[in-house]
Amino acid sequence: EGGDVKIAYNPDAKDGFRLGLMQDFGLDVSDVEEPELDDILYIDCDTEGGIIAGDNPRSVLLAVYEYLRQMGCRWLMPTVDGEYIPVQDVKPVKYRFAPSMRYRGWCNEGAEYQQCMMDAIEFAPKVGMNTFMLEFRIPVSYYRRYYDHLYNEENRKPEPVSNNQVIQWKRQCETEIAKRGLQFHDIGHGWTMDSFGIDSSWRSYDPVDHETEISDDQRQYMALMNGERKLFSKTPNWTNFCMSNPEGQRKFVKYVADYAENHTNSDYLHLWLADGTNNHCECDECKKKTPSDFYMILMNMLDEELTRRGLDTRIVFIVYVDTSWAPKEEMIVNQKRFTLMLAPITRSYTETLPEWGVKAVTVPYQRNKNKMPKDLEEYFAYFNDWKAAGWKGANICYEYHFWRHQYFDISGIEISKLIVEDVKTYNEYGINGIIEDGSQRCFFPTGLLFYTYARTLFDDSLSADEIREDYFSHIFGEGKAELEAYLTELSKVFDIFYLMKRRSLDPSISPFYNPDMAKEFEKVPEIVSRGREVIKKYYNSDVRVQTAAVRLLELHADFATAYAKALYYMALGDDVRAVEEYEKLIDEMGCREAEFEGWYDFNLSVLSLRQIFVTKVSRLPTAQIQDN
């Protein structure tokens, strides 16, 4: 029944449920390196009350959610429709735990609208996460993908949003992050042009030619490529600056320091270079050092300036594309301020580190002629080069399971297994956390994938089977066994190795040519038909989350049927018919987008599946694909 629950600030309280810092309760926190960053959750309660505490304010909130989890609560997807809250008596709990990873995070990506961002931030600590990142100074491209309703204009009229509106929304997200005490990680790309007054929110597909808006004074700082200083792919976000230019270095450092001084709520500023690869300056001075060497010079200059201003802002530098290659001469001096971020964007997502560990050998850096590593083993080899070059500081990973790769796993079951192994591998190799570059709407057909990510970061002793059993038993209830079996059967047909271009019988015909797979896709209508009978059986439930989950599976059944038909023709080498069926899939899901947009990122799905049906899909201009 509840009733009137009294809440009061009383440091001398001896009864009731008492929330506060462990230090204020006289509890030991010496087993973590930095209590501000490393969470400890402490619970010592009977049925009438007790202590729920953490070693920092955020950890107190996480401890409350853990207490409720041990009472049987589960947060399976964002919003109230994703909650499983049992009605039962409380029980005693004694618990003290330091999560496996220091950084347990999520970054905005895909097509986002403001309510989904608010829902995601609210959801994150409920599943034990402690970090949220907002990429870009003005994340206008992510918002416009949704509000312009790209690829779905026939069903939803564009709703333009201005830069000022997006800035407002970003500030609102920052406030929600702060309210929960989450670590706020800020920016990422954009500094390389914003520092010189060139707006990094410009995009190549904007209706104006932004190249004409760049002054001669600004142009002198842009990277020289093929004899010209101009925007790379017409996009500031993809354009580096001439990092050997002394005045350019000073402008860059001043701009970053000014931002840090005016945004002290940013716990970590991510200072990344331009996105894309093989896009660095070719002037004679820049050729004298690798981009990573100049990167380290800039980091040291920035540290000096932040120190001069009395700012303790933490800086994240990124080992990504061209800076995957370690510096040859330079290294960060004050490593306590900095965190290295490994971003293995070109790795395979069908396997983690092989059983033999790291035997891969790195290749020399070649300016603007590099081939990126293709698997996790190679990325760890480059990471080891950074450590050999003198890096001894903190490490974090920027991962991409929830970017395009999620759409190649029809059930979420296969990549969830990979995530468990990946998290354990990163922890073993000295990387103390992950921020996922992924859509805030990655809950289709279920939230198993994200739930697995969050639970494994929190406690990497858990197995994929344990997490899946916990998740499906709560989200499907009595239908757990039959619905899990249905998704598993679908997963076997939609072979993730095939969908990631690993099983073509004749690549000269197509990366997806495989008549044997066509026979598999022919099975899908019958599998889905049986699945619909199970869905019908559990269509209504007294538990709201279980009703919502089954209705989501109903939509997913339509998706799987149409997707399989397109793949059937692709496997036979009939690209034209495959594209026709894929466009039918886009049209059908687009008509119904509003029904399930809180769980499913229609825009990112279109962009992702385009990698399979890329050959003939004229309706998706390349300019809009490149911006991720």
Tens of pLDDT, residues 451-480: 999 999 999 999 999 999 999 999 999 999
Quickly list H helices, 398-447.
413-428
Please say whether the beta carbons of 626 and 274 come within 8 A: no
Cα–Cα distances (Å) from 444 to 75, 439, 601, in that order, read: 15, 11, 9
DSSP secondary structure letters along 75-138: E-SSSGGGEE--------EEEEE--S-SEEEEE--SS--HHHHHHHHHHGGGGT--EEEEESSS
Distance CA 249, CA 396 (A): 26
CB-based burial label for 556 (10 Å; 0-12, 13-18, 19+): buried
Name the one residue in this structure whose structure tokens are 């303790």.
Answer: 312
Q: What is the pLDDT of residues 168-222, one digit of tens each?
A: 999 999 999 999 999 999 999 999 999 999 999 888 888 888 889 999 999 999 9
Q: How far is CA 102 from its chain centroid?
A: 16
Alpha-carbon distance of 553 to 410, in angstroms, equals 11
pLDDT at 620 over 80: no
Give the bridge partners for 251, in sequence order: none
Tokens standing for residue 138 = 């003005």
pLDDT digits (tens, 9 = 90+) for 363-390: 999 999 999 999 999 999 999 999 999 9
Mean pLDDT, rounded, for 137-142:
93
Whether 625 shows a pLDDT value over 90: the answer reads no
Is residue 624 predicted with pLDDT exceeding 60? no
Residue 436: φ, ψ to 5°: -90, 125
Counting Cα atoms < 13 Å in the Cβ hemisphere of 238 gives: 18
Token output for 328: 């040859």
- Is 227 in contact with 210 (CB distance < 8 Å)? no
The string of pLDDT tens digits covering residues 34-68 is 999 999 999 999 999 999 999 999 999 999 999 99
| Residue 627 pLDDT exceeds 50 | no
How far is residue 465 from each of residues 143, 399, 409, 452, measured CA to CA in Å? 36, 22, 17, 10
User: What is the structure's pLDDT at 622?
Assistant: 39
Partners of residue 222 on adjacent β-strands: 241
Q: Please give the Cα distance from 122 to 451 (Å, whole number).
A: 15
Above 90 in pLDDT, residue 501? Answer: no
Q: What local confidence, expressed as pLDDT, does residue 615 receive? A: 56
Question: How many degrees, rounded to 5, is the angle at CA 602 between CA 596 and CA 604?
Answer: 140
- Contact yes or no for 53/19 (Cβ under 8 A): yes
Q: pTM here?
A: 0.93
Percentage of residues of the chain with pLDDT beyond 90: 88
Q: Residue 357: is its pLDDT beyond 50?
A: yes
Rounded distance, CA 397 to CA 309, Å? Answer: 29
Residue 561's φ and ψ, nearest 5 degrees, are -65, -50
Q: What is the mean pLDDT of residues 613-623?
A: 49
198: nearest Cα among 159, 232, 226, 236: 236
Q: Can you tell me the distance from the alpha carbon of 435 to that of 109, in angstroms, rounded to the nearest whole number?
A: 12
Task: State the pLDDT at residue 401.
Answer: 94
Q: Report how far residue 89's alpha carbon sits from residue 523's, in angstroms, rounded to the nearest whole number.
A: 47
CA nearest neighbour of 115 among 136, 143, 83, 75: 143
Question: Can you list the positions of beta strands (E) in 374-437?
Answer: 394-399, 433-437
Q: Is residue 621's pLDDT more than 80? A: no
DSSP string covering 530-560, please? HHHHHHHHTS--SSHHHHHHHHHHHHHHHHH
Structure tokens at 96: 């003290």
Residue 2 pLDDT grade (very low, low, confident, very high; cuts 50, 70, 90): confident
Return the pLDDT at 628. Answer: 43
Residue 100 has pLDDT above 60, yes or no: yes
What's the maximum distance between 2 C-alpha atoms anywhere in the chain? 76
